[in-house]
Amino acid sequence: MSLFRNIVFTAVIAGLLSGLLLTLMQSFSTIPLIAQAEVYEKAEAAPAHSHDHDAAAAGTASAPATGHHHDEEAQAWEPADGAERFVYTLAADMLSAIGFALVLIAGSEALGGFKGWRGGLMFGIAGFLTVILAPGLGLPPELPGMPAAELGPRQVWWIATAASTAVSLGLLAYTRSAALAALAIVLLIAPHLIGAPLPPSHETAVPMDLYARFVNAVYATNLVFWAFLGAVCGVVRERFRAGEDVSSGAPAKLASR
Amino acid sequence: MVTKSAAATVSVTTSKVIPLGMSAILGLFIVGFVGFSHLEVVHNAAHDTRHSLAFPCH
């Protein structure tokens, strides 16, 4: 169990640190752009809403926006704007980072370990390619209020693309046969030949320059996040190997005392 | 002594499979919950994270 315990410990440390860094970067880059896009999203949703409740809308039209940007799901809880929303974003970022770190460390251990922070950095960049860049080629980052295909098929394509990219990068880096390299290239390209589910129309009220800045911000923040996550995993993993090498000898030691 | 240490190395490599698999599954479960859960409350709480990590959202 010491290996599992050390991996979880390393992932939690690396995830908390890099999740904090990610949230700080996001609060200056992507989150203000999401807030701007939500203004357009609400403006788009409002006419449809008042169409259903003409009388009620006339009375509430002058009332301040309540922050419910999903009119059809107005009943569901959501964090209040400001500090509460920031805290939930921070928690979600840290949890995601811990989850990514667990997978990253498990993958690296199966392939022989990080071997220091440089190896961790390489694994982190591979994580960026797998989780952000490859799925992003077919399903670019979305702002609220932008048209998209059905959620389910997009999630299936996203997960399949990330999985096949991960296997492909592993084969390219850790095998030396031509046949496996060819298989890796097929796995790398196949999801994009199949193609991501696309929305029927790309029309949106969100301005294109806002969207372009958002896409740049997503790629920049996530590249830094993954590089940092990988490097920290590499450093912390080296520090915490307690019990792993001596675990088989430990019972004998205890017995001799 | 030699046979004992050889047996120990083999058991370490095979015993790695379970902790590594458990770590990976735990990580995938956490990412799946934060990023892919269809629960409306989870979606709303992790909304800005999902958009900023380019997860499929809405």
A146 to chain B: closest CA residue: B58
Q: Do B27 and A218 touch (CB under 8 A)?
A: no
Interface probe for A, chosen from B12, B29, B49 (most Cβ of A below 10 Å), is: B49
Q: Do A135 and B54 touch (CB under 8 A)?
A: yes
Q: Do B45 and A109 touch (CB under 8 A)?
A: no
Minimum-distance CB partner of A248 among B11, B28, B51: B11
- pLDDT for res B12: 52
Å from B4 to nearest chain A CA? 10
Q: Do A99 and B30 touch (CB under 8 A)?
A: yes
For A167-188, write each residue's pLDDT tens digit. 999 999 999 999 999 999 999 9
Å from B2 to nearest chain A CA? 14
Kindly list the residues from chain B whose CB atom is less than 8 angstroms away from the CB atom of residue A142: 51, 54, 56-58
Instruction: Map out the domains of chain A as residue ranges.
Output: 2-46+81-148+199-246
Highest-pLDDT range among A30-34, A39-43, A63-67, A203-207: A30-34
Is the separation of the CB atoms in A123 and A111 below 8 Å? no
Å from A31 to nearest chain B CA? 7
Kindly list the residues from chain A whose CB atom is less than 8 angstroms away from the CB atom of residue B27: 11, 98-104, 106
CA A38 to chain centroid: 21
For A18-33, write each residue's pLDDT tens digit. 999 999 999 999 999 9
Question: Residue A53 — pLDDT band, cuts 50, 70, 90?
Answer: very low
ipTM of the complex: 0.83
* Side-chain half-sphere CA neighbours of A39 within 13 A: 7
Task: Answer yes or no: is pLDDT of A9 > 80.
Answer: yes
Kindly list the residues from chain A whose CB atom is less than 8 angstroms away from the CB atom of residue B50: 92
Question: Residue A60 — pLDDT band, cuts 50, 70, 90?
Answer: very low
Kindly list the residues from chain B whose CB atom is less than 8 angstroms away from the CB atom of residue A109: 16, 20
